[in-house]
Chains A and B, each alone.
Chain A
């Protein structure tokens, strides 16, 4: 579901816009960057925020 919401937000952006996704470690952290790359988006970075929360930065 995390990637579903990510995909929906990405579809609303203009090319070149940047999306920051806050997500939990585990499956979302594995899935979102991989799927974003497969779909042709540019994954600029993955950062640890605090605890089990991480941030994935994607450029359309």
Chain B
């Protein structure tokens, strides 16, 4: 096993709880000196959208529907117990009450700690998203081969 302190995470899921895990792992590793790469694909692209809230993105009516359904971090559902949107609100309340960082704080920490954020080219095309739709901190748009190259020598997680 290689000993480089590198962690690469494939962020496939767009759920509130799973994205919290992605950013907790990423910022935790970065804080102790790991090089961290996060590859956002499919539902994960929801986490790096620039526009707050729901919007109709993309060229045709199907992508517009997805753009509306995937409204970014502020409306992302939990993978279980979503209860029509009550889930994330309940968890955010519990997290704040226990002084645990919220998802938005974790994303800000990720940017400050210099975590490399990448968007998946294939998923972007399918969902009708362009690089301009993402936050400026996204380093690049990549495919699988490039990402595998980047993650060489470290650990890779799929969330």
Contact = CB atoms under 8 A, between A and B. Distances in A.
A3 B109 contact: no
A38 interface: yes
Q: How large is the interface on B (under 10, 10 to 19, 20 to 34, 35 or more residues)?
A: 10 to 19
A21 to B, nearest CB: 13
Interface string B81-116: 000000000000000000011000010010011000
Interface in A1-49: 1, 3-8, 11, 35, 38-39
Contact of B32 (A1, A5, A11, A38): A38
B34 to A, nearest CB: 12
Contacts of B30: 4
Tell me whether chain B's interface is mostly helix, strand or loop, or mixed: helix
Contacts of A5: 101, 109
Interface centre among B30, B31, B106, by most A CB within 10 Å? Answer: B31
Q: Per DSSP, are chain A's interface residues mostly helix, strand or loop, or mixed?
A: helix
Interface residues of A, number: 11
Interface in B4-63: 24, 27-28, 30-33
B20 to A, nearest CB: 11
Interface of A: 1, 3-8, 11, 35, 38-39
Interface of B: 24, 27-28, 30-33, 100-101, 106, 109, 112-113
